[in-house]
Amino acid sequence: MKKHYLLYFVITALLFLFSCKRQKFVAKTIQGEEPRKTSFWHYQSNFMLDRNSTDLRTDGIYFKIIDTDQFGDTYKTFRFYQDGLVISHVAYSTPEKLMKLERMIEGNIHGYYKLKGDTLLFTTKVYYNHSPTFYTGDIYSSDSLRLHYINYKTRESDSEIYYFIKEEN
């Protein structure tokens, strides 16, 4: 009799699982619609960077080595664009290769920045979990940034210095 209850339970569980709507969980890229631009704290429509009023550079990337092993380095990078977009990558690569990544296809960690003098403010989100990371920082010169961050979900926080490398033409 116990075998019949177990068999009924297994059949019921399988029917339940197959009757549930199957969803595909796919990480969207920046060309998707979510999260909406207006969901970022520092998004400003019609923003254009005034390069004469700031040392923030848009002709390359700011990078930091976050891990090193016998095969190479892992970098965290930020690329700022004149329209207020910032894209971040964490990759086992080189800064030169990361500079070649296309803005609209491969940047799934992104946000929008705002400047107040030499202070930089921005928030980034990852499409598949929508937990924002908040950044504040100072532009030291045209070759480095000091960023303080806190992740909303993990509560991880730290201060880091990122160095600039110019894109080769």
Taking residues 105-123, what's their average pLDDT?
A: 80
pLDDT digits (tens, 9 = 90+) for 24-56: 444 444 444 445 676 677 777 777 777 777 888
pTM of the predicted model, to two decimals? 0.71
Structure confidence at residue 136 (pLDDT): 92
168 vs 17: which has the higher pLDDT: 168
Q: Distance between CA 100 and CA 86 in Å, rounded?
A: 15
In a domain, 49, yes or no: yes
Average pLDDT over residues 82-88: 88
* Residue at 15 is within a domain: no
Whichever domain contains 155, its CATH number is 2.40.128
Give the Cα separation of 101 and 89 in Å (integer): 10
Residue with the bigger pLDDT between 10 and 104: it is 10
d(CA 115, CA 135) in angstroms, rounded, equals 12
User: Tokens 């940047």 sit at which residue?
Assistant: 107
Expressed as residue numbers, the domain containing 68 is 33-166
Whether the predicted pLDDT of 10 surpasses 80? no
140 with 164: CB under 8 angstroms?
A: no
Domain count, the chain: 1
Cβ distance 125 to 109 under 8 Å? Answer: yes
pLDDT of residue 163: 92
